[in-house]
Structure 1
Amino acid sequence: MIPRINVYALPDLVEPEELASGTVVVIDILRATTTIVHAIAAGATAVVPCGTVEEAERLAEMLRQTDPDAHVLLAGERECLPIPGFDLGNSPTEFQPDRVFRSVVIMTTTNGTQAFRRCRKASKVIAGAFVNASRVLQELFEETSAIHLLCAGADGEVTRDDVLFAGYLVDRLERRSGLRYEMNAQALTARENWQASFVEPYVSGAEPLPPELLASQLRRSRAGEKLVAAGMEHDILEAARVDRFSCLPVFDPASGIIVGH
């Protein structure tokens, strides 16, 4: 059987049942999946994505009552800004070992944590970003059934940063896996977007992609423009540091928890 790559530029473009087989990669470059990778790399025990502020607060309170010694942190954003009363926002650089080591991070964001909820019927779900790109690819090289690249979008609209990373993955899988893939139309479009955005030797990966060069493309996305307007442009450069980490955040749909592998 020829393996398949499907890209979904928005979560609403796929039904949960369609993600049941194969591997799903949730993508929210600016910023949820980038931040989740940072959290796991910094030693967080788990990240729990929640849909609403109220849900996150209830879960944090329940965990604190169940285990008073647990280190539970609330993290997230609305309209790019930290949520009042939360311990952390959604900026990757906030998630340092001195803040999150051995902690359970309860997170809610405008787009990214919602995308994880779309994967409730999937069998295997990982969080992908440029900062752990090679580790994601390593996992996908072993997938011989179906690969689903699920972009979170921004406020219900397609955003270029997510599509670029999806295109990066499609391009690298084609070049390096040794497999031939069937692709949906969005996968072909994402690959074309990646290939049109840079010149050789960066497109093929013959030379490392400088963070500043990638960040210049991410700034042009809908999500990037919102971050610039909110005064958080520094987060864009952090998201553009390809292969900064080698960890793989894995989401368990049954428990709703992300842990590192």
Structure 2
Amino acid sequence: MNRRALLGSLGALLFSAGAAIGVSRLAARPSAPAVRRRVVSLTPAITETVLALGAGPQLVGVSDYCELPPGSALPRLGSSLTPQLEQIAALRPSLILSDGSAAAKSRELSALGKTEVLPWLTLAEVTASIRRLGQLLEQAAVGDALAQKLHDALSRPPPPGAPRVLLLLSYDPDRPAELWFIRRNSLHGAALAAAGAQNAVAHDVAGLPRLSVEELVRLDPDQVLIIPSPGATLEARQRILGAFSRLSPLRAVKESRVGVLSGASQSVGPGILRLVDSVGQMLQKMSGPRPAGGFVE
């Protein structure tokens, strides 16, 4: 081999060795740590769903009304209607989650960071929003599975001849004229149907789901179920039953077909499935011997 060829070969070898060393050093260099999302959720149902998706560690703040696992503590930041904007800004969120309530402060929240407004009323809206949450939090497969589970469980129609049930969202014995009912076109309405009952208010309602006592008497449902406020004690639930039983013109009162469920049934997140079980069990009880006045779960 002549001198020029020998020098060329040595140069090529040195270049290859240098490139290999450079590549090995790049491979050995630790990769930059992934930036953890800083998520603020201002709606209890959305927070419940974030936790169900296994994305709880991404939360840095929640609404005043969100329930967290025992031992967990996060800053409380108002709600989607009354957000504490300065406190939210101080947390430097990378994602703010809110429901699609008409009065939600989505415009103000968007000025603080990426804001996702999720429709959360009907079954179709909720399942679509759960899938979207899964995508946002990199839990798409879990989100799809959870959405499908809710869809399958809450899409069952009531059987023919099912009782006409009025499902009330709480009842205040001190303010008996305020009757807030569950709309047919809502997640709770789907749960009522899946449990085997017809909604006594048999049409979709766009405005406030409220009845007067006179409207209730004209409606005269076969059965009445009441969801008390979360945390209501047994004594409080018995008081609700006693107060409602004073509405003696109602067929449901005359036949002791009034029931007070547990407060846990207020969930409009994945926990809505508990309501299906509670209503189903109460319907079974009402089909048999009934105590005077009605039932308390």
TM-score > 0.5, shorter chain as reference:
no
Q: Which has the higher contact order (CA 8 A, sep 6+)?
A: 1
| Higher gyration radius (CA) | 2
User: TM-score by structure 2 length?
Assistant: 0.26
